[in-house]
Amino acid sequence: MKTSSVLAIAMLIWGTIAGFHDIEADSILVFARQATSLPPCRLNYTTDVWTGCADVIAQFEITLEEFLYANPQLGEGCDGFKPGETYCVFRDSNTRPTSLDGNCGIQANYSASCVGSTFGDCCNPSGKCGKGEDFCGKGNCQEGSCEGGRYSTDGKCGREHDYLPCPPKFGLCCGGNGQCGNATAFCATGCQSGPCLEASTTSASQSPTPTPTTSPGGVSPDGTCGYNDAFVCKGSKFGSCCSAAGYCGDTEYECSQYLGW
């Protein structure tokens, strides 16, 4: 008796669910997708300590919205971004078309991505997809899966050039003139990033080797901020705001809420 009425109720419920199958199943599916499963990630990217949320967005030519969609854990405004962590930069539904002809970058009007292409995941300064050092190495990669993130590909750097840091091939210091170089002229006064020499040192040293002189968490000695050394910009001569790229400044770029902190 008992068993059969349970069975009857069960069948009744089943009938109800089955009757509404289309609506119920679809909304459950949609809900499950939103709640748990995202399309697969096509490229994970490990940021370096210089990389900010804005850098990743710029490098991979995606929108903030797309980046947050691919990494829901980051929260609104990319607040949860931690330099050095690995993030998904391309999920299936937010990719640009993969380059079919091997052309990429600014030369192709950023209309296609090398990532996932048969040529390789990196776009060289001439706008060709490929792999290996010549395409992915620091200073050789304009977009895509570039080694170590974004670096200058033409020797121009700093504020006037999208805050690009300098790769070894052009010299590691970004001079006050927005050009990369290893010479004292680039690493001394006005130096924007890289192993800048202490501003007060009057070229006693010939070698621009990194010489951290301030303890972590102190006022930025070189215009860099956040990340490993946790230098703060307030009180530095470079500006009071720390950009997501890790440089001090006073412009809207460094001070806007979403980019800086």
- Answer for which of 38, 41, 49, 199 binds ligand NAG (CB under 6 A) is 41
Contacts 24+ apart (CB under 8 A), 232-239: 237/199
Q: Nearest distance from residue 107's CB to ligand NAG, in Å? A: 6
Contacts of 154 (CB under 8 A, 6+ apart): 125
The per-residue b/e assignment along 229-253, b for 16 or more CB within 10 angstroms, e otherwise, is bebbbeebebbebbbbbbbbbeeeb
When asked if residue 118 is in the footprint of ligand NAG (CB under 6 A), the reply is no
- Answer for which of 27, 34, 44, 201 binds ligand NAG (CB under 6 A) is 44
Q: Nearest distance from residue 190's CB to ligand NAG, in Å? A: 18
Nearer to ligand NAG, 121 or 254 (CB): 121
One-letter amino acid identity for 3? T
Q: Nearest distance from residue 71's CB to ligand NAG, in Å? A: 11
153 CB-side CA count, 13 A: 21
Nearer to ligand NAG, 54 or 88 (CB): 88
When asked if residue 112 is in the footprint of ligand NAG (CB under 6 A), the reply is no
The region of 40-48, 118-126, 133-141, 242-250 touching ligand NAG under the rule CB under 6 A is 40-48
Give the separation between CA 165 and CA 180, rounded to whole angstroms. Answer: 8
One-letter amino acid identity for 102? G
Q: Do 146 and 51 meet the contact criterion of CB atoms below 8 Å apart?
A: no
Binding mask 160-189 for ligand NAG (x = CB under 6 A): --------x-xxx---------x-------
# chain residues binding ligand NAG, by CB under 6 A: 12
The region of 4-12, 36-44, 131-139, 156-164 touching ligand NAG under the rule CB under 6 A is 36-44
Site residues for ligand NAG, window 65-94 (CB under 6 A)? 88
When asked if residue 56 is in the footprint of ligand NAG (CB under 6 A), the reply is no
Parallel/antiparallel/unpaired status of strands 41-46 and 86-91: antiparallel
Give the separation between CA 231 and CA 86, rounded to whole angstroms. Answer: 23
Q: What is the DSSP letter of 193?
A: B
- Answer for which of 16, 34, 93, 109 binds ligand NAG (CB under 6 A) is 109
Q: Which residues bind ligand NAG (CB under 6 A)?
A: 41-44, 88, 108-109, 168, 170-172, 182
